[in-house]
Copies of this chain bind each other. A is one copy, B any other.
Amino acid sequence: MAKIKESSTQQSNKRQATLECPVSYVINKIGGRWKPLIIYHLLAGPRRYNELKKAIPPITEKMLIQHLKELETDKLITREAKQVVPPVVVYSLTVSGKALMPVIQAMGKWAALESNATPVDTYGLFS
């Protein structure tokens, strides 16, 4: 999927960082371009693949499943496929995923002070 060179300096530095530094650890899990948005939508409840796709228009299908898969292997979300045609696949946050809430809120507070932009909060999760 994404060919990584385990032996590279970059990989070993990254590994060290995520082992020693909690911040790097977290960023490593939620740091993909679209991951925060995916998590945001799932915080509002389980979502089908297509619902996520429509909720995040600029994302490509490749990036969407790629991130979904990574989030799944990191155990932040679960994938549930119903054996029907056309397929129905529902993604939900795990307990770990939901536990990110305080982190996200702390970030939200800081960003509110520092940034002059008004973030989008479709579901009113932060109001």
Contacts and interface: CB of A to CB of B under 8 A. Distances in A.
Interface residues of A, number: 44
A45 interface: no
Given A13-B33, A21-B36, A21-B40, A110 B103 contact: yes
Q: How many copies does the complex hold?
A: 2
A57 B102 CA distance: 32
A86 to B, nearest CB: 29
Contacts of A25: 107, 111, 114-115, 117, 119
Interface of A: 10, 13-14, 16-27, 30-31, 33-34, 36-37, 39-40, 58, 96, 99-100, 102-115, 117, 119-120
